[in-house]
Amino acid sequence: MSDEGEKKKHPPFWRDFGSIIVAILVALVVRTVAAEPFNVPSASMVPTLLIGDTLIAGKYAYGFSKFSSPLDIVPNTLGDRLSGRILEQPAKRGDVIVFKLPRDTSINYVKRLIGLPGDRIQVKSGRLYINGEMLARREDGDFSGELGMRTRISRRYVETLPGGLEHKIIEDSDTAPLDDTTEFTVPPGNYFMMGDNRDNSLDSRVPAIAGGVGFVPAQNLVGRVDRIMYSRDLDAPWWDLPAIARGFRGQRFFAAVQ
């Protein structure tokens, strides 16, 4: 068959359309099995994450579930096997994780993993206890920045998790509503999440039935946050291009998340 016949059989439009479809499918595969960007809309993870950070969440860290697809179109055909995940790897205490909110899986949350299955978690007078042991923390100066709808100064601490991992938290006081809780026992196949902005985080300290996060099933983990892709101040008006340019936080570009 001649080249002219091939061109008539497959006109340029259909060749281009096919290329676009292939490119979309490749992008979906990459975002499902490799990594996906997420934006930080709240101050619940300050000082680790700021409003306006765009994160890279590694999908491969914990294996894959129906929530690994960026379009939420993968059916759950795995049943209860491997906690609803394939190639499952257990999450580690201290990981910063993007997960699907258990009471509404259309919503992504990002928090730090504090409690593993079987752990006993409690907050008393602002101090975190894991399995009956109070975690060490040391003062680390003040944090001044945007916390929710206003800018204020909070006390910053370095907290040490079991195993020695250190990370920074902030506290406005040790008498806030979530600074004294009952003792939670993390069920099998679930995790306990908390925000680093301890007095301003809706997390596993609040049960799902009360509008909080509650325990997070392993199946709901989307990916581990290891790095910030870029960051900018979202207060700049969309029409003010110089303000938008000044709002980029260059020191946070590709910064590691600890």
Cα–Cα distance, 23 to 44 (Å, whole number): 36
Instruction: Supply the DSSP symbol for 33.
Output: H
Spatial CB neighbours of 115, under 8 Å, sequence gap ≥ 6: 93, 121, 130, 184, 186, 191, 192, 204
Instruction: Supply the DSSP symbol for 165.
Output: -
The active-site residue, picked from 66, 111, 154, 201, is 111
Q: Are 216 and 99 in contact (CB under 8 A)?
A: yes
With DSSP H G I counted as helix, E B as strand and the rest as coil, what are the percentages for the chain, rounded to 5?
20, 35, 45
- Per the listing, tokens 């101090």 go with 127
Give yes or no: 100 in active site.
no
Cα–Cα distance, 174 to 214 (Å, whole number): 22
The active-site residue, picked from 44, 65, 69, 231, is 44
CA nearest neighbour of 159 among 174, 137, 141 = 137
Give yes or no: 9 in active site.
no
Query: Which CA distances in Å does 14 have to 9, 11, 27, 28?
Result: 10, 6, 20, 21
CA dihedral of residues 77, 84, 105, 101 (deg, nearest 10):
180
Cα–Cα distance, 179 to 38 (Å, whole number): 29
- Per the listing, tokens 């991992």 go with 165
Active site residues: 44, 111
